[in-house]
Amino acid sequence: MKISKICCIGAGYVGGPTMAVIAQKCPEIKVTVVDINEQRITDWNSDNLNKLPVFEPGLDKVVEEARGRNLFFSINVDKAIEEAEMIFISVNTPTKTYGKGKDMAADLKYIELCARQIAKVAKTDKIVVEKSTLPVRTAQAIKSILSQTGKGVNFQILSNPEFLAEGTAIQDLLNPDRILIGGELNEKGIEAINALVNIYASWVSKDKILTTNVWSSELSKLVANAFLAQRVSSINSISELCESTGADVREVSRAVGMDSRIGSKFLNASVGFGGSCFQKDILNLVYIAKSYGLNEVADYWEQVILMNNHQKSRFASKILSTLYNTVSGKKIAMLGWAFKKDTNDTRESAAIYVADQLLEEKANIAVYDPKVESNRIYADLNYLNSRSEDENSLLVQVHNNSYEACKDAHAIAIMTEWDEFKDCDWQRIYDNMLKPAFIFDGRFLLDREELKKIGFKSFSIGI
């Protein structure tokens, strides 16, 4: 089966970049990305490539090459579904905030809406690909909805989870560790699997394309993120022990990471992990384990989340205790709001929770992030409902550069490891701060000894 038309429902952090790369590498395939958010589609179609709704290094060049040739962004969802032979579902699957599984299970309402819309519109056979991160056996629910159309249309459901790291998504797509495709292991299912394999094989070596049953594929995504998040929380737990014993967490991390059985990735102590995947996927895994009565398994993985929350909380507490146990009326500059560098994604960013805790102590927060807009920052804080929107607007100011944010500040907290913060004129920043000037490096971005020579009172996680 040779695919000539693809539709992707969802133009967010996964759908947009993934489809752009597929379009770039498969110019013979028409790729249409659809979304009900008109402003998002307008931004994807903007002539100003710096205003794409998703910031990823290299994405602008990929979009520039493919857009208008065989890559299209549209709000006409029904038309794209009707024309496509293969439909990717790449919509948000947040953690439920209500009902059974609240604060733990995945909220699948958007997935169900997509399935119902496909069922309503489709007049010809389709391959439907799960691209969103989903709990095990979601494909069965999708197939159940699609099989009730009564139109004689046949659907094959594939699981094709993404393994992208924000900030390096384009490189991850161009040079993936592996591509995972799960489907039904019968004649029609294998035919659908091979159709997707052939698309990726346009630029990915076939020995890196793994095929499994659909359930193994769905679970592998959750488990991969759980393992990565566990490593972050593990080294963060050791960072607190290092502070108490006089060890240096960077030295411990290096010694442990050189063990080939462990490796060095995700062994960098920090304020904590964030992003759209780790927390919700671990909570989803915890919920699945509890659903099967595996309480010890659930408790084990839930501790990774508890450790991550503790790390964010103790970073804020360290700022409070160092500033003489009061930050009321004091200006704290926060450099970075995205959960990591080279992305404008703020979902579950440690900065939000550290700022929230400091705001509870009546601090004045000054924020600068190179790619995150002010309306996003206020929306993140307002979503927590800790204070009124008016109070957040009064206590939080968003600035256009590091120097404005840090002027007359009592302290600086580095929340995101943006490269531009390394290149700041730190002497200039110090000279324009209130004294004593404190800096809290939550990402090991700067040289502590150099900061001390300038005059800063410096604190870093795990040292």
Active site residues: 162, 221, 277
CA distance 66 to 339: 29
Which parts of 250-390 are beta strand (E)?
331-335, 364-368
With 0-12 CB in 10 A as exposed, 13-18 as middle and 19+ as buried, what is 315?
A: buried
Cβ–Cβ under 8 Å, residues 209 and 178? yes
Quote helix, strand, coil % in the chain, to nearest 5: 45, 15, 40
Q: What is the DSSP string of 167-217?
A: TSHHHHHHS-S-EEEEE-SSHHHHHHHHHHHHHHTTTS-GGGEEEEEHHHH
CA–chain centroid gap for 336, Å, is: 15
Residues with Cβ within 8 Å of 15's Cβ and at least 6 positions away in sequence, in order, are 8, 9, 33, 35, 88, 90, 91, 131
Cβ–Cβ under 8 Å, residues 231 and 262? no
440 strand-pairing partners: 413, 459
Joined tokens for residue 248: 């240096």
Joined tokens for residue 408: 């007359």
Phi/psi at 253 (5° precision): -60, -45
Whose tokens are 């500059």? That residue is 333
For the chain, the straight-line distance linking the first and the last C-alpha, in angstroms and rounded, comes to 57
Query: In the 8-state DSSP scheme, what is residue 362?
Result: T
- The H or E element spanning position 34 is strand 30-34
Phi/psi at 180 (5° precision): -115, 125
